Amino acid sequence: MRRSTPYIEGVRFFIFYIVLIGTLLVFGLRLIQLQVFDYSSYVAQADENRTREVLIPAPRGVIYDRNGIPLAQNVEQFNVTITPAFLPFENEVQLQQIYQFVSEITGVPIQTPPLDAGEARGNEIGIDSPPPGIKNLVDLQDSIAPFTPVTVAPDVDREVALIIGERSRELLGVNVEVFPARSYPTGTLTSHIIGYTGPISREQQDFYEARGFDTTKDRIGFDGIEFEFQETLAGRPGKRIIEQDVAGAEIRTIDVVNPVPGENITLTIDIRLQAATKAALENMMDQENRERTAQGKTQVSNGVAIAMNPKTGEVLSMVSLPTYDNQEFARFIPLDYYLELADHPYLPLLNQAVSGEHPPGSVFKIALSAGALKEGIVSVFDEIFDPGKIVIRNQYFPNDPGKTREVVCWKRDGHGDVDFYTGLSQSCDIWFYAVGGGYTKGGVDVGMEIEGIYKYATMIGYNELTGIELPAERSGLIPDRDWKRLNLGENWSTGDTYIHSIGQGWILGTPIQIVNSFAPFMRNGDGILPQPTLVREFSDEEGTILQDFEPRVLSVVDIEDWILEEVDAGLRKVMVDGTGVDLSLYEGVNYAGKSGTAEYCDNIAQSQNRCKFGAWPAHAWFVAYAPWEDPEIAVVAFLYSGEEGSAVAGPVATEVINAYFELKAIDQLAAENAEATATGQ
């Protein structure tokens, strides 16, 4: 029998060689893939494993008033940290002494006790469990990254930080991390303007991480200028790239990218005038509320006062009451305080100066005054008789027989024959009913109608945002026929036109809109509707101005100069012998202005059952500016449910202007004294 071994062995060797070659080929291809095609990817992973980025926060820009007084600035925040890798775990006595000392000086417990049944039940019903103790935090960090510090006591006092620093030799692993925090020296005085900063929310983490921010520590603007100029103020964080070992211990620094500090912002606000404005408004509200409490009447719940330069649009002061203390939010946002503000019926978190929409009442009448002259509906010499009340026919379409209704003037016995100047200075409702809703002139029926009211109201800034640098600004409302049809499902009526002629009905305006609407009518204003602004300039940390202030224009009104001058003359007459005649004015300065008393029936008044026909509650408005010959300052004062404009809002507006001229005199005297000192006189 022949043996087949050589043949079989040859086949086996052949198969073995094929497998060997295939294996070598697979390994070779894999090596080529790893070392050639995937080289960059694995190098990046290796670098990522051996390197780590340590973020360097950028100093946030400081916010100043126009005179260089800081309104928002940076301060040091001290966080007590422990690096687990440096703790003396081999010496239990020393370790416990460190824990005990840190606990006593910071008030943080060494260890959180385990949850018992009662605490577990507390969590179910919404009661927070106690925060983790020092040992809990250290043990968790030790298991994750022992060479990375963990914060065990955030935001401790400077004295605590100094004591820990002095004993750093014996407090192994314990350190104090200095971190920039925000401080608001003027607190409630400027909180609606400045706003506040807060932690980066979960929804915003990806956005800010992509820009190099530490989302666990960095803070961003949440309201006011802090929010509106977040990118400008925040700057750009830097980073330090370090090499680390497998345990996370730092070996060396590979590269450093320096942070770019945020830009400083100088506002147009004068903090001295801001304080005077707040005091004037608070005092009037307190005075009114004391009297109303004694009489059992409704309180004045909200108030606004704004002062601006009508030529440039610079806001000199802006106060909205009630307010809140943004210093309370400087380090963290206390939940109880925030909820108290959020649930308050008077909405202290809302800046009523730009977000409060209210019927303007008679301060709106400047739109009708200019429009009536422009359209030839009335001349400055025409007289319209005011008997105190008139009867109008409320029609929904031309052939509608309608229903008659009686409308009255605020002066129930009437003003008699009323010309243009008297109509404006005395705020005669019948005169404005006539030019707005229609009257017979020379045998012809004339009137502005709602189209004319809409045209001239929007021309002076109503129904549009002013663009002031604050969040949540509202545009107000000037309704027209389409608006009523779309929103209320009804046709416009003649009665609607009459009531809107005196700034009532569905018309809404914000205080910033209303004070700005007067600017085109002031002398040397050239018919310009300026854009209100709070920002004067941007500068770097060295104080170098990066962008200076330039006035911006919203529009130039399409109204002839002579008409603007006639309206201005009527507004001057308000203070001479009109509704503002009894106000106290700064000696030697001529004022002009307009009062407003606006009836309202909002959801608050309805809930209090105050909307009674013929006796609705009313807001108080007053706009004043001075000097009349060449205005430097214009002020609006608004008091929610203040009732009488000239008696309640008027004193606030004129007191702010008086304070402006007092401060101006002080500054001039100081400048003269400084000059005399410099020249040796």
- Domain ranges, ordered by start, for the chain: 52-112+132-267, 271-668
Which tokens go with 652? 């606030």
In this prediction, what percent of the chain has a pLDDT beyond 90? 58
Report, as an integer, the average pLDDT of 108-132. 56
Asked whether residue 677 carries a pLDDT value surpassing 50, the answer given is: yes
Please choose, from the candidates 635, 427, 428, 598, the residue with its C-alpha nearest in 3D space to the C-alpha of residue 519: 635
Please state the pTM of the whole predicted model: 0.86
Per-residue pLDDT tens for 93-104?
Answer: 899 999 999 999
- pLDDT category at 535 given cuts 50, 70, 90 is very high
Which pLDDT value is given to residue 49? 63
pLDDT at 44: 60
Q: Supply the DSSP string of 506-550, one letter for each residue.
A: T-BB-HHHHHHHTGGGSTT-TTEEEPPB-EEEEE-TT--EEE---
What is the pLDDT at residue 401?
Answer: 80
CA-wise closest residue to 306 among 274, 328, 284: 274
Phi, psi of 610 (to 5 degrees): -105, -5
For residue 265 the two structure tokens come to 């912002």
Q: 555: number of CA atoms within 13 Å, CB side?
A: 15
Question: Hey, is 115 helix, strand or coil?
Answer: coil
Average of pLDDT values for 444-457?
A: 94
More confident residue, 442 or 63: 63
pLDDT at 257: 84
Superfamily of domain 52-112+132-267: Penicillin-binding protein 2a (Domain 2) (3.90.1310.10)
The H-assigned helical ranges of 408-448 are: 420-425, 429-437
pLDDT value, residue 288: 94
Per-residue pLDDT of 176-228, as tens digits, reads 988 788 999 999 999 999 999 998 988 999 999 888 888 888 889 999 999 99
Most confident of 12-16, 146-150, 658-662: 658-662
Report pLDDT for 48: 59
Residue 552 clears pLDDT 60, i.e. is over it: yes
Structure tokens at 362: 């008679």
Mapped onto helix, strand or coil, the DSSP state of residue 243 is strand
Give the model's pLDDT for residue 610: 78
User: In whole angstroms, what is the distance from residue 211 CA to residue 220 CA?
Assistant: 13
5 falls in which pLDDT band (50, 70, 90)?
A: low
What's the pLDDT score for residue 21? Answer: 83
CA 485, 490, 493: angle at the middle one, nearest 5?
100
Neighbours of 395 (CB within 10 A): 16
**Residue-level pLDDT at 678:** 80
What mean pLDDT is predicted for residues 351-380? 97
Indicate the pLDDT class of residue 115, thresholds 50, 70 and 90. very low
Question: Distance (Å, rounded) from C-alpha 640 to C-alpha 417?
Answer: 33
pLDDT band, residue 126 (cuts 50/70/90): very low
CATH 3.40.710.10 corresponds to the domain 271-668: yes
Least confident of 19-33, 300-314, 527-541: 19-33
Indicate if the pLDDT at residue 125 is higher than 60.
no
DSSP 357-398: -B--GGGGHHHHHHHHHHTTS--SS--EEE-SEEEEEE-SST
Give the containing element (helix H, strand E) for 178. Answer: strand 174-183
Q: What is the mean pLDDT of residues 483-501?
A: 95
Cα dihedral 325/356/228/457 (nearest 10):
-150
Q: What is the pLDDT of residue 624?
A: 98
High-pLDDT (> 70) share of the chain, % = 92
Q: Average pLDDT in the 53-59 region?
A: 82
Q: Which of 11-20, 236-245, 334-343, 662-671 has the highest mean pLDDT?
A: 662-671
The pLDDT value given to residue 603: 78
Residue 304's pLDDT is what?
98
- Tell me which residue has tokens 């209210």: 358
Residue of higher predicted confidence among 474 and 154 = 474
- Which residues face 63 on adjacent strands? 72, 265
Per-residue pLDDT at 9: 67
**Mean pLDDT rounded to a whole number for the chain:** 89
Provide mean pLDDT across the span 258-284: 96
Number of other residues whose CB lies within 10 A of the CB of residue 472: 11
> What local confidence, expressed as pLDDT, does residue 128 receive?
46
Determine contact, residues 453/371, Cβ cutoff 8 Å: yes
Lowest-confidence segment of 9-23, 187-201, 429-443, 640-654 by average pLDDT: 9-23
Q: Residue 563: what pLDDT?
A: 97
**Over the stretch 617-627, which tens digit does the pLDDT of each residue have?**
899 999 999 99
Check pLDDT > 50 for residue 263: yes
- 406: β partners: 391
How would residue 4 be classed by pLDDT, with cut points 50, 70 and 90?
Answer: low
